[in-house]
Amino acid sequence: MKSEELKRNVFFEKLNDFSELVMLKHSVFSLPFIFIAMLVASYLDSGSGWFGWKLLFLGTVAAVSARNFAMGVNRYLDRDIDILNPRTKNRPSVDGRVSTGQMLLFIVINALIFIGVAYLINALAFELSVPILMVLGAYTVFKRFSALAHLILGVSLGLAPIAGVVAVSGEITLWSVYLAVGVMFWVAGFDLLYSLQDMAFDKANDLHSIPSKLGAEKTMLIARVFHILAVFFWALFIVNANLGIWAGTAVLFAAVMLTYEHYLVNKDFTKIDRAFFTVNGYLGFVFLFFIILEVI
């Protein structure tokens, strides 16, 4: 009995290590927007927002496996950087809790899961699966030579609504592109704010982040511009999809929450974590809630 209990404890400890490795709880940033796209696509195609249990399951697995792949690649390639940064030196990828072999296996398994799920969804999803994985893996490489890495991260999460509409409709619509571009600027904007924490480290280690190149004041200005653009493109999404008052309310609430995020960061840099995780985590679900009201 003690042997079985020990094995069980080891299993759950390892599971927790992988969860920490990819920060699984932060899937909240991408999941709402893939479901927003799926709800709206179904609503416009059939008059009903419900797209079925099968697509709900496959969409969830696709989103989680894609994010696991991206985070796995990031942690694997960033080991040499993370070990030097006081903020990241205790990550499982650095302190030995997850070995390089385990990380590589994790990356391969999640890539295969994503491709397999895409195959089960439809032909277009399958054709796009490998290019999507290539984009998801590009962020870590980009930040070593270009400050545009913040936008590459935005593109990575912006693919979520594109994937959602492809899953339901088998095509890429203009409104989904507007939604995706809004997500891109939203993510790039809050990544800029989050990167302020590593501004000195990035400069010392020749990493190409915007804060290390332009400083805090200009970074916060660019982040504000990005978030204004996010709200603008989300408004275009609402108009192009011909949605109503509840969807408009979603955009309004998003604008208010982003304004509050900038208020927090401008007031006190120590509140970056609160602005990054709490405000942005809630934003996606608030947006999803009002879209659900719209389509029902």
pLDDT digits (tens, 9 = 90+) for 1-53: 556 665 566 666 666 666 666 665 556 667 899 999 999 999 999 988 899 99
CA 42, CA 168: separation in Å to the nearest integer?
6
Residues 127, 115 contacting (CB under 8 angstroms): no
CA 121, CA 116: separation in Å to the nearest integer?
9
Mean pLDDT value of segment 121-138: 92
CA 249, CA 251: separation in Å to the nearest integer?
5
CA 292, CA 149: separation in Å to the nearest integer?
33
Q: Which CATH superfamily is domain 16-295 in?
A: UbiA prenyltransferase (1.10.357.140)
Residues 210, 195 contacting (CB under 8 angstroms): yes
CA 38, CA 168: separation in Å to the nearest integer?
6
Q: What proportion of the chain, given as a percentage, has pLDDT over 90?
A: 49
CA 166, CA 172: separation in Å to the nearest integer?
6
CA 287, CA 33: separation in Å to the nearest integer?
8
Phi, psi of 247 (to 5 degrees): -65, -40
**Residue 198 burial (CB < 10 Å; 0-12/13-18/19+)?**
buried
CA 234, CA 227: separation in Å to the nearest integer?
11
**Residue 149 burial (CB < 10 Å; 0-12/13-18/19+)?**
buried
Overall pTM surpassing 0.85 (yes/no): yes
CA geometry: angle at 266 spanning 260 and 267, to 5°? 90
Please give the pLDDT value at position 83: 84
* 151: Cβ contacts below 8 Å, ≥ 6 apart: 184, 188
pLDDT digits (tens, 9 = 90+) for 65-119: 998 898 889 888 888 888 877 777 788 777 878 888 988 999 999 999 999 999 9
Residue with tokens 């992988």: 18
CA 244, CA 54: separation in Å to the nearest integer?
28
Mean pLDDT value of segment 192-199: 82
